[in-house]
Structure 1
Amino acid sequence: MFQRNLIDKTTYHQKYFRPSCLPALNLRFKTSAFFQPYYEKKHDQIHLPIEWTKTPEDTVLNYFSILREAENMAGRSCGTVGHARIPFPLAYNFLSEEYQRKLSYEAFFHSFAGVGHTSLIKLCRVPDIKHGIRFFYEIETIEGFEGKRAEYFGYYYGYIQLVHEKEGYRISDMSKIEEDFLCAPYHGWSHDADSAVEVKYGNWCKLIQKRYPTVTNGYVKNIYFRGTDGADYCLIFFTLTNGTDVEIAQFRKVGNERWKQINIKPEEDCLKETGN
Protein backbone atom coordinates (compact mmCIF):
# COMPACT_ATOMS: atom_id res chain seq x y z
CA MET A 1 0.00 0.00 0.00
CA PHE A 2 2.87 2.35 0.80
CA GLN A 3 4.32 1.88 -2.67
CA ARG A 4 1.11 2.49 -4.63
CA ASN A 5 0.14 5.63 -2.68
CA LEU A 6 3.33 7.41 -3.71
CA ILE A 7 1.79 8.18 -7.16
CA ASP A 8 -0.78 10.90 -7.85
CA LYS A 9 -3.40 8.71 -9.55
CA THR A 10 -5.16 11.67 -11.19
CA THR A 11 -2.17 12.68 -13.33
CA TYR A 12 0.21 9.80 -13.99
CA HIS A 13 -1.88 7.76 -16.45
CA GLN A 14 -1.66 10.22 -19.36
CA LYS A 15 2.12 10.51 -19.39
CA TYR A 16 2.43 6.74 -19.88
CA PHE A 17 -0.16 6.46 -22.66
CA ARG A 18 1.08 9.32 -24.87
CA PRO A 19 3.79 8.67 -27.48
CA SER A 20 6.80 10.80 -28.35
CA CYS A 21 6.75 14.11 -30.22
CA LEU A 22 10.54 14.44 -30.23
CA PRO A 23 12.30 15.21 -33.54
CA ALA A 24 14.50 12.56 -35.14
CA LEU A 25 18.26 12.84 -34.60
CA ASN A 26 19.38 10.42 -37.34
CA LEU A 27 19.02 12.71 -40.35
CA ARG A 28 22.37 12.26 -42.08
CA PHE A 29 22.57 10.62 -45.54
CA LYS A 30 19.09 11.72 -46.67
CA THR A 31 19.30 11.16 -50.44
CA SER A 32 18.73 7.97 -52.39
CA ALA A 33 21.91 8.69 -54.35
CA PHE A 34 23.93 8.08 -51.19
CA PHE A 35 23.10 4.36 -51.33
CA GLN A 36 23.77 3.83 -55.05
CA PRO A 37 27.40 2.63 -54.59
CA TYR A 38 26.13 -0.08 -52.22
CA TYR A 39 23.41 -1.63 -54.41
CA GLU A 40 23.70 -5.44 -54.45
CA LYS A 41 26.83 -5.41 -52.30
CA LYS A 42 27.24 -7.89 -49.47
CA HIS A 43 28.47 -6.78 -46.06
CA ASP A 44 31.96 -8.20 -46.62
CA GLN A 45 32.30 -6.19 -49.84
CA ILE A 46 31.84 -2.84 -48.10
CA HIS A 47 34.49 -0.62 -46.56
CA LEU A 48 33.36 2.33 -44.41
CA PRO A 49 34.92 5.75 -45.06
CA ILE A 50 37.13 6.69 -42.11
CA GLU A 51 35.33 10.02 -41.58
CA TRP A 52 32.10 8.21 -40.69
CA THR A 53 33.61 6.81 -37.48
CA LYS A 54 36.04 9.54 -36.38
CA THR A 55 34.24 10.09 -33.05
CA PRO A 56 31.91 7.91 -30.96
CA GLU A 57 29.04 10.32 -31.68
CA ASP A 58 29.70 10.13 -35.44
CA THR A 59 29.62 6.35 -35.34
CA VAL A 60 26.28 6.15 -33.53
CA LEU A 61 24.56 8.93 -35.51
CA ASN A 62 25.77 7.58 -38.85
CA TYR A 63 24.76 4.04 -37.92
CA PHE A 64 21.19 5.06 -37.12
CA SER A 65 21.02 7.47 -40.07
CA ILE A 66 21.83 4.61 -42.44
CA LEU A 67 19.18 2.44 -40.79
CA ARG A 68 16.53 5.18 -40.83
CA GLU A 69 14.76 3.91 -43.96
CA ALA A 70 15.93 0.30 -43.85
CA GLU A 71 13.01 -2.12 -44.27
CA ASN A 72 12.57 -5.74 -43.24
CA MET A 73 8.79 -6.13 -43.34
CA ALA A 74 8.49 -9.15 -45.65
CA GLY A 75 6.88 -7.02 -48.36
CA ARG A 76 4.13 -4.42 -48.21
CA SER A 77 1.24 -3.94 -50.63
CA CYS A 78 2.25 -0.31 -51.31
CA GLY A 79 5.51 -1.40 -52.98
CA THR A 80 9.06 -0.47 -52.02
CA VAL A 81 9.42 1.10 -48.59
CA GLY A 82 12.28 3.54 -47.99
CA HIS A 83 15.64 2.18 -49.16
CA ALA A 84 14.44 -1.40 -48.72
CA ARG A 85 17.19 -3.76 -47.54
CA ILE A 86 20.17 -1.94 -49.05
CA PRO A 87 21.21 -0.23 -45.77
CA PHE A 88 21.59 -3.40 -43.70
CA PRO A 89 24.99 -4.65 -45.05
CA LEU A 90 26.35 -1.12 -44.73
CA ALA A 91 25.12 -0.73 -41.14
CA TYR A 92 26.61 -4.10 -40.16
CA ASN A 93 30.08 -2.69 -40.82
CA PHE A 94 29.66 -0.28 -37.89
CA LEU A 95 29.99 -3.27 -35.55
CA SER A 96 33.40 -4.15 -34.15
CA GLU A 97 35.22 -7.24 -35.38
CA GLU A 98 34.60 -9.04 -32.09
CA TYR A 99 30.91 -8.14 -32.08
CA GLN A 100 30.57 -9.44 -35.64
CA ARG A 101 32.05 -12.75 -34.51
CA LYS A 102 29.30 -12.97 -31.88
CA LEU A 103 26.50 -11.66 -34.10
CA SER A 104 26.35 -13.00 -37.65
CA TYR A 105 25.01 -10.83 -40.45
CA GLU A 106 21.97 -13.10 -40.74
CA ALA A 107 21.17 -12.67 -37.03
CA PHE A 108 21.75 -8.91 -37.32
CA PHE A 109 19.33 -8.67 -40.25
CA HIS A 110 16.72 -10.84 -38.50
CA SER A 111 16.81 -8.54 -35.45
CA PHE A 112 15.02 -5.92 -37.60
CA ALA A 113 12.14 -8.21 -38.57
CA GLY A 114 8.94 -6.21 -39.02
CA VAL A 115 10.69 -2.82 -39.00
CA GLY A 116 10.10 -0.37 -41.86
CA HIS A 117 11.40 2.91 -40.43
CA THR A 118 13.60 3.92 -37.49
CA SER A 119 13.87 7.33 -35.83
CA LEU A 120 16.52 7.98 -33.20
CA ILE A 121 14.82 10.27 -30.67
CA LYS A 122 17.20 10.23 -27.70
CA LEU A 123 20.97 9.88 -27.58
CA CYS A 124 23.23 10.72 -24.65
CA ARG A 125 26.65 9.59 -23.55
CA VAL A 126 26.38 8.22 -20.04
CA PRO A 127 28.86 7.34 -17.27
CA ASP A 128 30.33 3.87 -17.48
CA ILE A 129 31.57 2.34 -14.24
CA LYS A 130 34.19 0.44 -16.28
CA HIS A 131 35.37 3.73 -17.87
CA GLY A 132 34.38 2.63 -21.35
CA ILE A 133 32.43 4.52 -24.04
CA ARG A 134 28.73 4.10 -23.38
CA PHE A 135 25.61 5.76 -24.81
CA PHE A 136 21.95 5.63 -23.88
CA TYR A 137 19.58 5.66 -26.85
CA GLU A 138 15.86 5.52 -27.61
CA ILE A 139 14.29 4.82 -30.98
CA GLU A 140 10.81 5.06 -32.47
CA THR A 141 10.01 2.50 -35.16
CA ILE A 142 7.22 1.94 -37.63
CA GLU A 143 6.49 -1.75 -37.80
CA GLY A 144 4.25 -4.03 -39.81
CA PHE A 145 3.83 -7.77 -39.84
CA GLU A 146 2.53 -10.33 -42.26
CA GLY A 147 -1.23 -10.73 -41.97
CA LYS A 148 -1.68 -7.20 -40.61
CA ARG A 149 -2.75 -4.38 -42.93
CA ALA A 150 -1.89 -1.60 -40.48
CA GLU A 151 1.48 -0.39 -39.25
CA TYR A 152 2.31 0.34 -35.62
CA PHE A 153 4.68 2.56 -33.69
CA GLY A 154 7.17 0.75 -31.49
CA TYR A 155 9.53 2.24 -28.91
CA TYR A 156 12.78 0.76 -27.68
CA TYR A 157 15.70 1.90 -25.56
CA GLY A 158 19.04 0.52 -24.53
CA TYR A 159 22.78 1.06 -24.29
CA ILE A 160 25.53 1.09 -26.88
CA GLN A 161 29.17 0.33 -26.05
CA LEU A 162 31.93 1.45 -28.40
CA VAL A 163 35.60 0.64 -28.86
CA HIS A 164 38.28 2.24 -30.98
CA GLU A 165 39.67 0.03 -33.72
CA LYS A 166 42.38 0.88 -36.24
CA GLU A 167 39.98 2.68 -38.60
CA GLY A 168 37.72 4.42 -36.10
CA TYR A 169 35.10 3.79 -33.44
CA ARG A 170 32.91 0.71 -33.72
CA ILE A 171 29.92 -0.61 -31.80
CA SER A 172 31.12 -3.40 -29.51
CA ASP A 173 27.81 -4.22 -27.81
CA MET A 174 24.23 -3.06 -27.96
CA SER A 175 21.10 -3.79 -25.94
CA LYS A 176 17.52 -3.22 -27.11
CA ILE A 177 14.61 -3.23 -24.66
CA GLU A 178 10.95 -2.95 -25.66
CA GLU A 179 8.93 -0.23 -23.96
CA ASP A 180 5.65 -1.18 -22.35
CA PHE A 181 2.65 1.14 -22.47
CA LEU A 182 0.27 -0.75 -20.16
CA CYS A 183 2.16 -1.85 -17.05
CA ALA A 184 3.38 1.63 -16.11
CA PRO A 185 -0.09 3.21 -15.73
CA TYR A 186 -1.27 0.42 -13.44
CA HIS A 187 1.92 -0.23 -11.50
CA GLY A 188 3.32 3.28 -11.47
CA TRP A 189 5.57 3.49 -8.42
CA SER A 190 8.40 1.48 -9.95
CA HIS A 191 8.27 3.52 -13.17
CA ASP A 192 8.46 6.93 -11.48
CA ALA A 193 11.91 8.14 -10.39
CA ASP A 194 10.91 9.95 -7.18
CA SER A 195 8.71 7.10 -6.00
CA ALA A 196 11.24 4.43 -6.92
CA VAL A 197 13.95 6.22 -4.95
CA GLU A 198 11.71 6.49 -1.88
CA VAL A 199 10.83 2.79 -2.04
CA LYS A 200 14.16 1.27 -3.03
CA TYR A 201 16.68 3.52 -1.28
CA GLY A 202 14.44 4.66 1.54
CA ASN A 203 12.07 1.84 2.46
CA TRP A 204 14.25 -1.07 1.36
CA CYS A 205 17.80 0.15 2.01
CA LYS A 206 17.06 2.61 4.86
CA LEU A 207 19.62 4.89 3.23
CA ILE A 208 17.74 8.21 2.91
CA GLN A 209 18.12 10.75 5.69
CA LYS A 210 17.06 13.84 3.72
CA ARG A 211 15.73 14.25 0.18
CA TYR A 212 16.52 17.34 -1.90
CA PRO A 213 14.36 18.74 -4.74
CA THR A 214 14.57 16.75 -7.96
CA VAL A 215 16.42 18.58 -10.75
CA THR A 216 14.79 18.01 -14.16
CA ASN A 217 16.32 19.06 -17.47
CA GLY A 218 14.39 17.75 -20.45
CA TYR A 219 14.27 13.96 -20.16
CA VAL A 220 17.06 13.91 -17.53
CA LYS A 221 16.27 13.78 -13.79
CA ASN A 222 18.87 14.14 -11.06
CA ILE A 223 17.76 13.07 -7.59
CA TYR A 224 19.92 14.03 -4.62
CA PHE A 225 19.71 12.89 -1.01
CA ARG A 226 21.77 12.85 2.17
CA GLY A 227 22.40 9.30 3.27
CA THR A 228 22.02 7.85 6.73
CA ASP A 229 25.73 7.01 6.44
CA GLY A 230 26.60 10.73 6.20
CA ALA A 231 27.41 10.64 2.47
CA ASP A 232 25.65 12.50 -0.35
CA TYR A 233 24.06 10.59 -3.23
CA CYS A 234 23.06 11.53 -6.76
CA LEU A 235 20.89 9.23 -8.91
CA ILE A 236 20.45 9.98 -12.62
CA PHE A 237 17.27 8.93 -14.44
CA PHE A 238 16.15 9.29 -18.06
CA THR A 239 12.45 9.52 -18.95
CA LEU A 240 11.32 7.28 -21.81
CA THR A 241 8.54 7.97 -24.29
CA ASN A 242 6.16 5.78 -22.30
CA GLY A 243 6.73 7.97 -19.23
CA THR A 244 8.89 5.46 -17.39
CA ASP A 245 11.99 6.77 -15.61
CA VAL A 246 15.03 4.53 -16.09
CA GLU A 247 17.93 4.72 -13.64
CA ILE A 248 21.11 5.44 -15.59
CA ALA A 249 23.84 5.95 -12.97
CA GLN A 250 24.53 6.39 -9.24
CA PHE A 251 27.11 8.62 -7.58
CA ARG A 252 28.28 9.02 -3.99
CA LYS A 253 30.59 11.48 -2.23
CA VAL A 254 31.68 12.18 1.32
CA GLY A 255 32.29 15.78 2.34
CA ASN A 256 34.29 17.70 -0.26
CA GLU A 257 35.36 14.60 -2.16
CA ARG A 258 34.59 14.22 -5.85
CA TRP A 259 31.54 12.25 -6.93
CA LYS A 260 32.38 8.57 -7.41
CA GLN A 261 30.22 6.25 -9.48
CA ILE A 262 28.80 3.32 -7.52
CA ASN A 263 26.56 0.36 -8.24
CA ILE A 264 23.97 -0.30 -5.54
CA LYS A 265 21.43 -2.99 -6.39
CA PRO A 266 18.55 -2.49 -3.92
CA GLU A 267 16.77 -5.70 -4.94
CA GLU A 268 19.88 -7.72 -4.19
CA ASP A 269 21.79 -5.67 -1.63
CA CYS A 270 18.86 -4.59 0.56
CA LEU A 271 15.88 -6.91 0.16
CA LYS A 272 17.95 -10.03 0.69
CA GLU A 273 19.54 -8.57 3.81
CA THR A 274 16.15 -7.75 5.36
CA GLY A 275 14.53 -10.99 4.17
CA ASN A 276 11.67 -9.17 2.40
Structure 2
Amino acid sequence: MGNVNVNQKYFRPSHLPALNYQVSSTFFHPYYKVDVSEIQLPQYLTTSPEATIINYYSVLMEAAIFPEGKVGGCGTVGMATLPYPIAYHFLTESYQKKVNYNEFVHSFNNIAHINLIKLQRIYSHSNSLKNWRYFIELETIEGSAKDVTYFAYYYGYITVLKETDGYKINNIVLHGEDFLCAAYHGWDHNAESVIEAKYGNWCKLVKTRYPTIQSGYVKNIVFTGTDGFVYLFIFFELTNGTDIEVAQYRQNLNGSWTPIKLIPEKCVEDSISPSKKLK
Protein backbone atom coordinates (compact mmCIF):
# COMPACT_ATOMS: atom_id res chain seq x y z
CA MET A 1 0.00 0.00 0.00
CA GLY A 2 2.97 2.29 -0.48
CA ASN A 3 3.10 5.18 1.95
CA VAL A 4 -0.46 4.68 3.19
CA ASN A 5 -0.78 4.63 6.98
CA VAL A 6 -2.87 1.46 7.19
CA ASN A 7 -4.01 2.04 10.76
CA GLN A 8 -5.11 5.60 10.04
CA LYS A 9 -6.88 4.65 6.79
CA TYR A 10 -8.77 1.55 7.87
CA PHE A 11 -9.11 1.53 11.64
CA ARG A 12 -9.91 5.10 12.72
CA PRO A 13 -13.21 7.01 13.01
CA SER A 14 -14.15 9.92 10.77
CA HIS A 15 -12.63 13.38 11.18
CA LEU A 16 -15.41 15.05 9.15
CA PRO A 17 -17.82 17.53 10.76
CA ALA A 18 -21.51 16.72 11.00
CA LEU A 19 -23.73 18.42 8.40
CA ASN A 20 -27.05 17.94 10.21
CA TYR A 21 -27.05 20.65 12.86
CA GLN A 22 -29.96 22.75 11.54
CA VAL A 23 -32.51 21.97 14.27
CA SER A 24 -32.39 23.18 17.89
CA SER A 25 -34.21 21.65 20.86
CA THR A 26 -36.86 24.40 20.74
CA PHE A 27 -37.92 23.17 17.30
CA PHE A 28 -39.55 20.15 18.95
CA HIS A 29 -41.69 22.05 21.47
CA PRO A 30 -44.86 22.25 19.30
CA TYR A 31 -44.75 18.50 18.64
CA TYR A 32 -45.02 17.14 22.17
CA LYS A 33 -47.98 14.72 22.43
CA VAL A 34 -48.97 15.33 18.78
CA ASP A 35 -50.04 12.22 16.88
CA VAL A 36 -48.08 11.30 13.77
CA SER A 37 -51.20 11.74 11.62
CA GLU A 38 -51.59 15.36 12.71
CA ILE A 39 -48.08 16.58 11.96
CA GLN A 40 -47.39 19.02 9.14
CA LEU A 41 -43.83 19.99 8.28
CA PRO A 42 -42.88 23.65 7.99
CA GLN A 43 -42.24 24.33 4.31
CA TYR A 44 -38.76 25.75 4.91
CA LEU A 45 -37.53 22.25 5.77
CA THR A 46 -38.09 20.88 2.25
CA THR A 47 -37.27 23.75 -0.11
CA SER A 48 -34.55 21.83 -2.00
CA PRO A 49 -33.37 18.21 -2.25
CA GLU A 50 -30.27 18.88 -0.12
CA ALA A 51 -32.24 20.89 2.44
CA THR A 52 -34.67 17.99 2.79
CA ILE A 53 -31.91 15.46 3.47
CA ILE A 54 -29.98 17.70 5.86
CA ASN A 55 -33.11 18.70 7.78
CA TYR A 56 -34.36 15.10 7.88
CA TYR A 57 -31.18 14.00 9.60
CA SER A 58 -31.13 17.16 11.72
CA VAL A 59 -34.51 16.11 13.13
CA LEU A 60 -33.21 12.58 13.69
CA MET A 61 -29.83 13.62 15.08
CA GLU A 62 -30.76 13.13 18.74
CA ALA A 63 -33.53 10.57 18.32
CA ALA A 64 -32.95 7.45 20.39
CA ILE A 65 -34.61 4.07 20.76
CA PHE A 66 -33.13 0.99 22.41
CA PRO A 67 -34.45 -2.56 21.94
CA GLU A 68 -34.65 -4.93 24.88
CA GLY A 69 -31.20 -5.87 26.12
CA LYS A 70 -29.45 -2.83 24.67
CA VAL A 71 -28.69 0.28 26.71
CA GLY A 72 -26.76 3.52 26.50
CA GLY A 73 -26.47 6.80 28.35
CA CYS A 74 -27.44 7.50 31.94
CA GLY A 75 -31.08 8.52 31.61
CA THR A 76 -33.13 9.92 28.76
CA VAL A 77 -30.97 10.13 25.64
CA GLY A 78 -31.38 13.21 23.45
CA MET A 79 -34.96 13.78 22.34
CA ALA A 80 -35.82 10.08 22.79
CA THR A 81 -38.61 9.04 20.38
CA LEU A 82 -40.09 12.51 19.85
CA PRO A 83 -38.36 13.10 16.47
CA TYR A 84 -39.66 9.99 14.70
CA PRO A 85 -43.22 11.19 13.89
CA ILE A 86 -41.77 14.42 12.50
CA ALA A 87 -39.12 12.66 10.43
CA TYR A 88 -41.73 10.30 8.96
CA HIS A 89 -43.33 13.24 7.18
CA PHE A 90 -40.16 13.84 5.18
CA LEU A 91 -41.12 10.73 3.18
CA THR A 92 -43.23 10.82 0.03
CA GLU A 93 -46.75 9.40 0.20
CA SER A 94 -45.70 6.46 -1.97
CA TYR A 95 -42.75 5.68 0.32
CA GLN A 96 -45.02 5.84 3.38
CA LYS A 97 -47.25 3.24 1.72
CA LYS A 98 -44.25 0.91 1.44
CA VAL A 99 -42.97 1.61 4.96
CA ASN A 100 -45.59 2.18 7.64
CA TYR A 101 -44.82 4.29 10.69
CA ASN A 102 -44.07 1.36 13.02
CA GLU A 103 -41.66 -0.15 10.49
CA PHE A 104 -40.03 3.25 10.09
CA VAL A 105 -39.40 3.60 13.83
CA HIS A 106 -38.21 -0.01 14.09
CA SER A 107 -35.54 0.70 11.44
CA PHE A 108 -33.77 2.94 13.99
CA ASN A 109 -33.59 0.30 16.73
CA ASN A 110 -30.49 0.69 18.90
CA ILE A 111 -29.47 4.00 17.30
CA ALA A 112 -29.16 6.87 19.77
CA HIS A 113 -27.41 9.55 17.73
CA ILE A 114 -26.93 10.21 14.00
CA ASN A 115 -24.36 12.41 12.29
CA LEU A 116 -24.65 13.01 8.55
CA ILE A 117 -21.00 13.29 7.51
CA LYS A 118 -21.10 12.91 3.72
CA LEU A 119 -23.64 14.15 1.18
CA GLN A 120 -23.06 14.24 -2.57
CA ARG A 121 -25.46 14.27 -5.48
CA ILE A 122 -24.91 11.47 -7.99
CA TYR A 123 -25.42 11.88 -11.72
CA SER A 124 -25.68 8.39 -13.14
CA HIS A 125 -27.09 6.42 -16.04
CA SER A 126 -30.15 5.32 -14.04
CA ASN A 127 -31.18 8.77 -12.78
CA SER A 128 -34.52 10.17 -13.88
CA LEU A 129 -34.85 13.88 -14.62
CA LYS A 130 -37.68 13.94 -12.07
CA ASN A 131 -35.69 12.71 -9.10
CA TRP A 132 -32.50 13.57 -7.29
CA ARG A 133 -30.20 10.80 -6.05
CA TYR A 134 -27.63 11.39 -3.33
CA PHE A 135 -24.83 9.43 -1.72
CA ILE A 136 -24.71 9.69 2.07
CA GLU A 137 -22.58 8.41 4.91
CA LEU A 138 -23.84 8.31 8.48
CA GLU A 139 -22.00 8.09 11.77
CA THR A 140 -24.14 6.67 14.57
CA ILE A 141 -23.80 5.96 18.27
CA GLU A 142 -25.40 2.66 19.24
CA GLY A 143 -26.21 0.90 22.48
CA SER A 144 -24.96 -2.47 23.66
CA ALA A 145 -25.41 -5.14 26.29
CA LYS A 146 -22.11 -4.04 27.82
CA ASP A 147 -21.37 -0.90 29.77
CA VAL A 148 -20.23 0.90 26.59
CA THR A 149 -21.72 2.53 23.51
CA TYR A 150 -20.33 2.13 20.01
CA PHE A 151 -19.74 4.27 16.95
CA ALA A 152 -21.03 2.62 13.77
CA TYR A 153 -20.97 3.80 10.17
CA TYR A 154 -23.37 3.34 7.28
CA TYR A 155 -23.30 4.46 3.66
CA GLY A 156 -26.02 4.46 1.07
CA TYR A 157 -28.28 6.33 -1.27
CA ILE A 158 -31.29 8.60 -0.94
CA THR A 159 -33.71 9.45 -3.75
CA VAL A 160 -35.67 12.70 -3.47
CA LEU A 161 -38.79 13.64 -5.46
CA LYS A 162 -40.61 16.94 -5.88
CA GLU A 163 -44.15 16.89 -4.43
CA THR A 164 -46.69 19.69 -4.12
CA ASP A 165 -45.56 20.52 -0.59
CA GLY A 166 -41.82 20.37 -1.23
CA TYR A 167 -39.04 17.89 -1.89
CA LYS A 168 -39.61 14.56 -0.16
CA ILE A 169 -37.57 11.39 0.35
CA ASN A 170 -38.76 8.57 -1.91
CA ASN A 171 -36.23 5.86 -1.06
CA ILE A 172 -33.35 5.16 1.32
CA VAL A 173 -30.92 2.24 0.99
CA LEU A 174 -28.20 1.86 3.62
CA HIS A 175 -25.31 -0.57 4.06
CA GLY A 176 -23.27 -1.11 7.21
CA GLU A 177 -19.48 -0.64 7.16
CA ASP A 178 -17.11 -3.36 8.34
CA PHE A 179 -13.81 -2.03 9.68
CA LEU A 180 -12.08 -5.42 9.72
CA CYS A 181 -12.41 -6.44 6.08
CA ALA A 182 -10.76 -4.09 3.59
CA ALA A 183 -7.34 -3.97 5.25
CA TYR A 184 -7.00 -7.74 5.38
CA HIS A 185 -8.79 -9.20 2.37
CA GLY A 186 -8.95 -8.79 -1.40
CA TRP A 187 -8.45 -5.85 -3.71
CA ASP A 188 -11.95 -4.66 -4.62
CA HIS A 189 -12.04 -2.07 -1.83
CA ASN A 190 -9.45 -0.01 -3.74
CA ALA A 191 -10.61 2.17 -6.65
CA GLU A 192 -7.44 1.84 -8.71
CA SER A 193 -7.43 -1.95 -8.33
CA VAL A 194 -11.08 -2.10 -9.37
CA ILE A 195 -10.34 -0.19 -12.58
CA GLU A 196 -7.34 -2.37 -13.43
CA ALA A 197 -8.99 -5.69 -12.57
CA LYS A 198 -12.62 -5.29 -13.57
CA TYR A 199 -12.42 -2.86 -16.47
CA GLY A 200 -8.88 -3.73 -17.54
CA ASN A 201 -8.43 -7.48 -17.07
CA TRP A 202 -12.09 -8.50 -17.30
CA CYS A 203 -13.41 -6.10 -19.93
CA LYS A 204 -10.13 -5.37 -21.76
CA LEU A 205 -11.19 -1.73 -21.85
CA VAL A 206 -8.29 0.10 -20.14
CA LYS A 207 -5.48 1.22 -22.43
CA THR A 208 -3.93 4.04 -20.39
CA ARG A 209 -4.95 4.92 -16.82
CA TYR A 210 -4.00 8.39 -15.64
CA PRO A 211 -3.06 9.41 -12.06
CA THR A 212 -6.01 9.50 -9.69
CA ILE A 213 -7.32 12.95 -8.83
CA GLN A 214 -8.56 12.96 -5.23
CA SER A 215 -10.33 15.79 -3.44
CA GLY A 216 -11.29 14.84 0.10
CA TYR A 217 -13.20 11.58 -0.08
CA VAL A 218 -13.92 11.91 -3.85
CA LYS A 219 -11.69 9.98 -6.25
CA ASN A 220 -11.77 10.70 -10.00
CA ILE A 221 -10.11 8.10 -12.21
CA VAL A 222 -9.70 8.81 -15.93
CA PHE A 223 -8.46 6.35 -18.53
CA THR A 224 -8.24 6.05 -22.29
CA GLY A 225 -10.11 2.99 -23.47
CA THR A 226 -9.02 0.42 -26.01
CA ASP A 227 -12.00 1.63 -28.06
CA GLY A 228 -10.50 5.13 -28.31
CA PHE A 229 -12.93 6.80 -25.90
CA VAL A 230 -11.95 8.54 -22.66
CA TYR A 231 -13.68 7.33 -19.49
CA LEU A 232 -14.21 8.90 -16.07
CA PHE A 233 -15.08 6.78 -13.03
CA ILE A 234 -15.97 8.39 -9.70
CA PHE A 235 -15.47 6.69 -6.34
CA PHE A 236 -16.24 7.86 -2.81
CA GLU A 237 -13.97 6.76 0.03
CA LEU A 238 -15.81 5.53 3.11
CA THR A 239 -14.66 6.02 6.68
CA ASN A 240 -13.54 2.37 6.78
CA GLY A 241 -11.17 2.98 3.86
CA THR A 242 -13.27 1.28 1.18
CA ASP A 243 -13.74 3.01 -2.20
CA ILE A 244 -17.31 2.80 -3.54
CA GLU A 245 -17.94 3.30 -7.27
CA VAL A 246 -20.78 5.78 -7.72
CA ALA A 247 -20.69 6.94 -11.35
CA GLN A 248 -19.28 6.19 -14.80
CA TYR A 249 -18.93 8.57 -17.75
CA ARG A 250 -17.72 8.37 -21.34
CA GLN A 251 -16.46 11.49 -23.08
CA ASN A 252 -18.20 12.52 -26.29
CA LEU A 253 -16.43 13.92 -29.34
CA ASN A 254 -17.49 17.43 -28.31
CA GLY A 255 -15.82 17.03 -24.91
CA SER A 256 -19.01 16.55 -22.87
CA TRP A 257 -19.53 13.56 -20.57
CA THR A 258 -22.37 11.03 -20.86
CA PRO A 259 -23.36 8.81 -17.90
CA ILE A 260 -23.00 5.13 -18.78
CA LYS A 261 -23.45 1.78 -17.05
CA LEU A 262 -20.82 -0.83 -17.76
CA ILE A 263 -21.28 -4.09 -15.87
CA PRO A 264 -17.89 -5.83 -15.60
CA GLU A 265 -19.45 -9.12 -14.51
CA LYS A 266 -20.99 -9.35 -17.97
CA CYS A 267 -17.50 -9.24 -19.44
CA VAL A 268 -16.71 -12.41 -17.52
CA GLU A 269 -19.93 -13.99 -18.77
CA ASP A 270 -19.05 -13.03 -22.35
CA SER A 271 -15.62 -14.60 -22.04
CA ILE A 272 -17.29 -17.86 -21.04
CA SER A 273 -20.19 -17.61 -23.50
CA PRO A 274 -19.19 -15.60 -26.60
CA SER A 275 -22.83 -15.40 -27.73
CA LYS A 276 -23.58 -12.97 -24.89
CA LYS A 277 -22.89 -9.28 -25.52
CA LEU A 278 -22.06 -6.54 -23.07
CA LYS A 279 -24.98 -4.17 -22.81
Q: TM-score higher than 0.5 here? A: yes
SS across alignment from 1:85? coil
Residues 230 and 254, structure 1, Cα contact 8 Å, conserved in 2? no
Residues 191 and 235, structure 2, Cα contact 8 Å, conserved in 1? yes
Deviations 1:160-204 (A, max 9, x none): 001111100000001011011111011241001111111111111
Report the count of equivalent residues: 267
Letter in 1 for 2:139: E
Structure 1 position 28 matched with structure 2 position 26: no
Deviations 1:2-52 (A, max 9, x none): xxxxx549744541111101110000112x221111112222110001111
Q: Tell me, in whole angstroms, the C-alpha distance in 2 between the residues paired with 1:158 and 1:138.
A: 6
- 1:76 deviates by 4.3
Letter in 2 for 1:144: G
Structure 1 position 149 matched with structure 2 position 144: no
Q: Tell me, in whole angstroms, the C-alpha distance in 2 between the residues paired with 1:77 and 1:151.
A: 8
Residues 143 and 154, structure 1, Cα contact 8 Å, conserved in 2? yes
Q: Which residue of 2 aligns with 1:196?
A: 194
Match of 1:271 among 253, 268, 271: 268
Match of 1:239 among 237, 240, 262: 237
The TM-score with structure 2 as length reference comes to 0.91
Q: Which residue of 2 aligns with 1:4?
A: none
Label 1:108 to 1:236 Cα distance change in 2 as closer, same or farther (>3 A): same
- 1:274 deviates by 1.6
Residues 124 and 260, structure 2, Cα contact 8 Å, conserved in 1? no
Moved more, 45-54 or 94-103: 45-54
Structure 1 position 113 matched with structure 2 position 109: yes
SS across alignment from 1:164? strand
Letter in 1 for 2:45: W
SS across alignment from 1:184? coil
More helix by share: 1
Q: Tell me, in whole angstroms, the C-alpha distance in 1 between the residues paired with 2:269 and 2:12.
A: 36
Residues 72 and 142, structure 2, Cα contact 8 Å, conserved in 1? no
Structure 1 position 40 matched with structure 2 position 36: no
Q: Tell me, in whole angstroms, the C-alpha distance in 1 between the residues paired with 2:91 and 2:194.
A: 35
Structure 1 position 83 matched with structure 2 position 79: yes
SS across alignment from 1:191? coil
Label 1:43 to 1:128 Cα distance change in 2 as closer, same or farther (>3 A): farther
Moved more, 93-102 or 18-27: 18-27
Q: Which residue of 2 aligns with 1:178?
A: 176
Letter in 2 for 1:72: I
Q: Tell me, in whole angstroms, the C-alpha distance in 2 between the residues paired with 1:127 and 1:10.
A: 30
Structure 1 position 19 matched with structure 2 position 13: yes
Stretches of 4+ aligned residues off by more than 3 angstroms: 7-14, 74-77
Letter in 1 for 2:123: P
Deviations 1:134-179 (A, max 9, x none): 111001000003x322100000010000111110000000101101
Residues 252 and 258, structure 2, Cα contact 8 Å, conserved in 1? no
Deviations 1:55-100 (A, max 9, x none): 1111011000000000012464611000010000000000000000
Q: Which residue of 1 aligns with 2:216?
A: 218
Identify unmatched segments of 5+ residues in structure 2: 274-279
Q: Tell me, in whole angstroms, the C-alpha distance in 1 between the residues paired with 2:124 and 2:104.
A: 25
Q: Which residue of 2 aligns with 1:3?
A: none
Letter in 2 for 1:24: A
SS across alignment from 2:41? coil
Deviations 1:190-225 (A, max 9, x none): 001111111111111110011111111111010000
Label 1:209 to 1:144 Cα distance change in 2 as closer, same or farther (>3 A): same
Q: Which residue of 2 aligns with 1:159?
A: 157
Indicate the percent of aligned positions where both proteins have the same amino acid. 51
SS across alignment from 1:106? helix
Residues 72 and 149, structure 2, Cα contact 8 Å, conserved in 1? no
Label 1:86 to 1:70 Cα distance change in 2 as closer, same or farther (>3 A): same
Q: Tell me, in whole angstroms, the C-alpha distance in 1 between the residues paired with 2:177 and 2:72.
A: 25
- 1:240 deviates by 0.5
Q: Tell me, in whole angstroms, the C-alpha distance in 2 between the residues paired with 1:178 and 1:126.
A: 20
Q: Tell me, in whole angstroms, the C-alpha distance in 2 between the residues paired with 1:148 and 1:92.
A: 31
Label 1:205 to 1:238 Cα distance change in 2 as closer, same or farther (>3 A): same
